[in-house]
């Protein structure tokens, strides 16, 4: 068993963040909800920084359109579940990683929650409350708000790191003119 300072995977993280913060990361159980462009990359950085316990939740498949922004995905991953592909990549980085993954699409669960389905709401809360930190990286604002509300009920710490972009508010052509 290597001490933290002997672990080469963590040496740069320890130098940058300090042993105390890296130890906190190592001892925390993270949940990443949404394994697309933001969530997958954040999960990878967590593992590279020392996270040893992580759970991934996403019900979507890798699509070609994901390949331009998700470093963990490549052409051979298209039509495979994002969480399975990402879990394999994260295990390749740290074989000792404890990882769970669920092909669960929270958009479907949110419909049940919005319809006041108490049992579904309790199921989602019971899953979410098992984590020390929940990283919400979904692409729909309504879904993010629902998960934040679940985290509040479960009394979790969470970060909302997903981004919703409204096309009509952005005019990139003005930035691209030569």
Q: How would residue 10 be classed by pLDDT, with cut points 50, 70 and 90?
A: confident
Overall pTM surpassing 0.85 (yes/no): no
Q: Is the pLDDT of residue 117 over 60?
A: no
Maximum Cα–Cα distance across the chain: 58
Gyration radius (Cα) of the chain, Å: 18
**Which residue, 129, 53, 128, 62, is CA-closest to 98?**
53
Q: Is the pLDDT of residue 125 over 80?
A: no
What's the burial of 38, exposed, middle or buried (CB within 10 Å: 0-12/13-18/19+)?
A: buried
Helix (H) or strand (E) holding 90: helix 82-93
Q: Which pair of structure tokens corresponds to residue 1?
A: 């068993």
Average pLDDT, stretch 39-48? 93
Q: Is the pLDDT of residue 8 over 50?
A: yes
């Amino acid at each position: 068993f290597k001490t933290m300072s002997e672990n080469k995977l963590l040496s740069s993280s320890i130098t940058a963040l300090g042993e105390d913060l890296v130890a906190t990361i190592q001892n925390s159980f993270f949940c990443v909800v949404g394994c697309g462009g933001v969530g997958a990359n954040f999960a990878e950085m967590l593992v590279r920084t020392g996270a040893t316990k992580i759970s991934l939740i996403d019900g979507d498949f890798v699509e070609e359109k994901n390949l331009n922004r998700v470093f963990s995905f490549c052409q051979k991953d298209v039509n495979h579940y994002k969480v399975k592909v990402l879990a394999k990549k994260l295990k390749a980085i740290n074989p000792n990683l404890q990882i769970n993954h669920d092909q669960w699409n929270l958009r479907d669960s949110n419909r049940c929650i919005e319809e006041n389905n108490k049992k579904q709401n309790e199921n989602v809360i019971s899953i979410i409350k098992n984590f020390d930190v929940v990283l919400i990286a979904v692409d729909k604002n309504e879904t993010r708000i629902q998960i934040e509300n679940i985290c509040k009920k479960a009394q979790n710490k969470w970060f909302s790191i997903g981004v919703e972009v409204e096309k009509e508010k952005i005019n990139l052509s003005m930035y691209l003119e030569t």
